[in-house]
Each structure stands twice: as C-alpha cells, then as structure tokens.
C-alpha cells in the first residue's frame, strides 16, 4: 500500500480515512472498581483503512449508509452514527449530513476499526461543518464512545493506559513492515475480557521489561516480546486461532502475535523485506488457506 493522507476533498464532500491498529503489547494490570480492566498497551496505526465520506444530506438529520466488503451495523448501532450525533449535540448544532462508511476492515479482529471509524467521524465532521471543537473536547467525546477511540484521534504510535483512553504519544518513529493474518472467525472483546483470568506475576514481569524498553525508546524490542495477556482468553474461546498460530510459527514465521482480543495476528518482518513478505503471504495462503495482507506503520 502506498502512503496516503487522512483527509481528502471529494466534490462537495470530505473523505476521511480511518486506519486500523495493532497492539505491539497488551498488558492487564488487574480489574478496576468500575468493572473494567486496567490496561497498558502500545498501539500502532497501520496503513489499512476504512473510509468515512461526509456529504451534504438530502434528508433531515444524519443519514448513514454502510457499504464495502465487510459488514457494519446500520443506524444508531453504528459508532459512526453515534459519534456524529454526540458531536452535533455537544456543539448545539443541527445539520443535514450524509455519511457513507466503506467497511474494509472486518469486525471482531482486534484491529480497532469501529473505534477508528468513530474517531474519523469526530475529526471529519468537526472539520467539515467548521464546528471548532478543540482537541480536549474531542478527546472527551471519544472516551464516551469507547476506550480505543481516543487513540485514533492522534498517534500514530502511543502508550495507552486506564481503559485505553489515557494516551501518551510516543514520538520515537517505529517503521515496520508486517503481515496481518486474518482467520475467518471473529472474537467479541467483551467476551474475551469476561473469559480472562488475571496473572499478577506475569503482569509484573512484563510491565518491568516494557517500562525499561519504553524508557530507552526501544519499541522494536517491545514488538519482539509479543506480549498479549488477553491471548489465553482469546484462544480459550476460539481454539482454532491457537492452532493456526502454532502451525504458522512451526514454519518459522515467528513470533506470530495476537492483536487486541483477536482474532487477527501479525508478524513483524525483519529488515522491511517486501519480497520476503509476499513469500510469507503466499505460504500462508497455500498451507493454511488463510487470508493475509501486508501492511506498514501508518504515518499519521
């Protein structure tokens, strides 16, 4: 994929690209009093996008249309609609807008596409309607929509804590080439967390190591750790993902890391070798009949 921009004017509309993410690490410090889990995660945007097109509406209010190769819910069940409604209500504005979501990234893969779509809507509608909402306001609205949404307002690389909504941007560049492996199953994030059993000793060990790597700006070493404390919960729910991971790693494509709560996995390809990347992709397709795509870190 070639590098591209986030915002693009299309006729009298505004196209906003919504990138996916991968979790280079995902630690769970324990359960919070509010029932959520306390997270520590390094997240990186990748150059695979959904698209949000904002245009003048032909009907009163917000009109949302979903299209593309992947399914997305319609109406107020969609985070895009909810983000648009929340932003307009917060601004005290009424507007007739048509929003078309082109869904390229499958749901239930741990790639954060719905959260990214919501963030793209907040950013795009704020710009398109010239609402003038400051960054702090957008962050507050994003946190109300979902824990991952605030990350997608900035980036492209950040250390996120709390429920995921506390964002500390990582200014150090981490350029990478990766192969995404996309099993034909989805995983519910809520169910994965419900299935999680905490391991405090593991958390403390991983936390100490990742903290040291962050202090030294060694994001590459964090990625090599392949630390995801939700992996066991995901594999317990979907055993075929665990079997696929083991089979892929048996071919030498290792470490094969789970993103978020799954089901997507990724392999960081050393030395950004594109030829090797496509050879790996061919092997995955032939040996496992599994879809994969080649991505790089996103630039924004």
Residues annotated as catalytic are 21, 148
- Residues 235, 245: Cα–Cα separation, whole Å: 10
Please give the C-alpha separations between residue 129 and each of 60, 126, 211, 216, in angstroms, as whole numbers.
15, 6, 41, 42
> 84 Cβ partners below 8 Å, 6+ apart?
62, 64, 97, 99, 121, 125
Helices first, then strands: H and E counts in the chain: 9, 11
d(CA 29, CA 296): 29
Cα–Cα distance, 61 to 234 (Å, whole number):
39
Q: Do you find a cis peptide bond into 263, omega within 30 degrees of 0?
A: yes
Exposed e or buried b per residue across 56-72, where buried means at least 16 C-beta atoms within 10 angstroms of its C-beta:
eeeeeebbbebeeeeeb
């Amino acid at each position: 994929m070639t590098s591209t921009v986030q915002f693009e004017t299309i006729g009298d509309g505004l196209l906003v690209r919504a990138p996916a993410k991968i979790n280079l690490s995902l630690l769970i410090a324990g359960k919070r009093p509010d029932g959520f889990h306390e997270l520590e995660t390094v997240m990186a945007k990748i150059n695979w996008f959904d698209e949000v097109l904002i245009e003048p509406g032909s009907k009163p209010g917000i009109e949302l249309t979903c299209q593309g190769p992947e399914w997305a819910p319609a109406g107020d069940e969609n985070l895009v609609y909810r983000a648009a409604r929340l932003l307009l209500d917060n601004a005290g504005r009424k507007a007739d807008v048509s929003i078309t979501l082109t869904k390229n990234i499958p749901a239930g893969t741990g790639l954060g596409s719905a959260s990214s779509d919501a963030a793209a809507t907040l950013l795009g509608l704020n710009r398109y309607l010239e609402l003038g909402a400051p960054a702090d306001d957008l962050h507050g609205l994003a946190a109300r929509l979902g824990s991952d949404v605030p990350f997608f307002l900035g980036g492209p690389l950040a250390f996120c804590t709390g429920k995921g909504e506390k964002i500390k941007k990582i200014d150090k560049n981490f350029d990478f080439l990766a192969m995404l492996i996309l099993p034909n199953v989805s995983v519910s994030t809520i169910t994965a967390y419900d299935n999680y059993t905490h391991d405090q000793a593991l958390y403390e060990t991983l936390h100490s190591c990742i903290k040291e790597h962050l202090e030294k700006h060694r994001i590459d070493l964090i990625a090599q750790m392949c630390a995801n404390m939700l992996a066991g919960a995901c594999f317990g729910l979907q055993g075929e993902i665990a079997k696929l991971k083991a089979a892929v790693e048996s071919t030498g494509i290792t470490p094969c890391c789970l993103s978020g709560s799954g089901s997507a996995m990724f392999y960081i390809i050393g030395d950004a070798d594109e030829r090797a990347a496509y050879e790996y992709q061919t092997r995955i397709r032939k040996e496992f009949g599994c879809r994969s795509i080649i991505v790089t870190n996103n630039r924004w």
